[in-house]
């Protein structure tokens, strides 16, 4: 907040806005602001208004199906790519991101929590560089019984994840699944991988893979458990919590919860 105004941050559901919402924002910034709105790095919109106009602005936003967004030590607006509108999409990232947003946005936590959802390993939302990252991808394996040793796949992978001699896929596989078009010995299973402990900024950190799931509803359960444990035992950012608790301890705790 500046001395002479409030900066209003809108809580936008991931993915898309409709024309009525865009018109409402335009009306607000023309009537109560300076005619400008800022598009944030987290796909949000914020603008300045006079403090005495806050109630009127809040009412106008609510009529358009919009709410004031979260800031401070809370779960922030969830970020998503365009999902199934992209030809690379492996899963419906927009739908999942909206479910996560509706369930967790605004919850108080020890420090701010940013959650990003990617529809494929191209990582347009930089899901490995936020507190909790979610990514649709493939788990690839080679069926040795179907492999005829043609060698087509030997130098195919960009990250050299195909061990052609031993007919296995290395851990460095990104999960794009392009190799499955080579021959039917490559088998792919769609999963949703969750990463924790990443962050951007001046001192950035890449998140660690926590678990891969098959069902969208389990993603919500896992995020709920992460936030619950973090709220109980965390002090700094989730990256600090992961370092102190240990990724393997967190993983085993999550696995136990999913079995119950």
Residues 36 and 91 in one domain: no
Q: In tens digits, what is the pLDDT along the chain, a chain of 260 residues?
A: 456 789 999 999 999 999 999 999 999 999 999 999 999 999 999 999 999 999 999 999 999 999 998 889 999 999 999 999 999 999 999 999 999 999 999 999 999 999 999 999 999 999 999 999 999 999 999 999 999 889 889 899 999 999 988 999 999 999 999 999 999 999 999 999 999 999 999 999 999 999 999 999 999 999 999 999 999 999 999 999 999 999 999 999 999 999 88
Domain boundary among 37, 68, 99: 68
Q: What's the N-to-C CA distance of the chain in angstroms? A: 45
Residues 19 and 141 in one domain: no
**167 inside domain:** yes
Give how many domains the chain has, as a whole number. Answer: 2
Long-range contacts of 214-217 (CB under 8 A, 24+ apart): 214/189, 214/190, 216/95, 216/96, 216/99, 216/192
Residues 113 and 31 in one domain: no
Residues 139 and 199 in one domain: yes
Residue where the block lists tokens 């300076």: 34
What range defines the domain where residue 93 resides? 79-259
User: What pTM was estimated for this model as a whole?
Assistant: 0.93
What stretches of the chain show up as alpha helix (H) in DSSP? 19-31, 54-63, 93-104, 216-233, 238-245, 247-259
**74 inside domain:** no
225 CB-contact burial (10 Å; exposed 0-12 / middle 13-18 / buried 19+): middle
CATH number assigned to the domain comprising residue 37:
3.30.70.3340
d(CA 117, CA 96) in angstroms, rounded, equals 8
């Amino acid at each position: 907040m500046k001395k002479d105004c409030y900066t209003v941050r809108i809580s936008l559901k991931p993915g898309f806005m409709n024309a009525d919402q865009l018109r409402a924002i335009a009306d607000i910034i023309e009537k109560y602001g300076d005619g400008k709105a800022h598009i944030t790095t987290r796909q949000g919109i914020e603008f300045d208004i006079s403090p005495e106009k806050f109630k009127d602005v809040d009412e106008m936003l609510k009529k358009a199906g919009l709410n004031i967004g979260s800031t401070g030590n809370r779960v922030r607006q969830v970020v998503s790519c365009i999902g199934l509108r992209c030809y690379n999409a492996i899963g419906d990232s927009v739908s999942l991101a909206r479910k996560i947003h509706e369930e967790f946005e605004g919850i108080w936590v020890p420090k701010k929590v940013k959650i990003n959802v990617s529809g494929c390993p191209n990582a347009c939302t930089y899901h490995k560089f936020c507190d909790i990252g979610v990514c649709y991808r493939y788990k690839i394996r080679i069926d040795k019984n179907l492999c005829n040793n043609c060698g087509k796949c030997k130098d195919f992978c960009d990250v050299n994840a195909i061990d052609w001699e031993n007919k296995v896929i290395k851990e460095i596989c990104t999960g794009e699944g392009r190799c499955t078009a080579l021959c039917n010995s490559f088998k792919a299973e769609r999963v949703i991988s969750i990463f924790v402990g990443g962050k951007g900024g001046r001192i950035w950190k890449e998140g660690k893979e926590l678990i891969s799931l098959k069902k969208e509803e389990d993603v919500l359960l896992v995020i709920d458990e992460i936030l619950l444990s973090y709220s109980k035992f965390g002090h700094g950012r989730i990256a600090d919590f992961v370092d102190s608790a240990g990724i393997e301890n967190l993983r085993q705790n999550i696995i136990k919860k999913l079995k119950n």
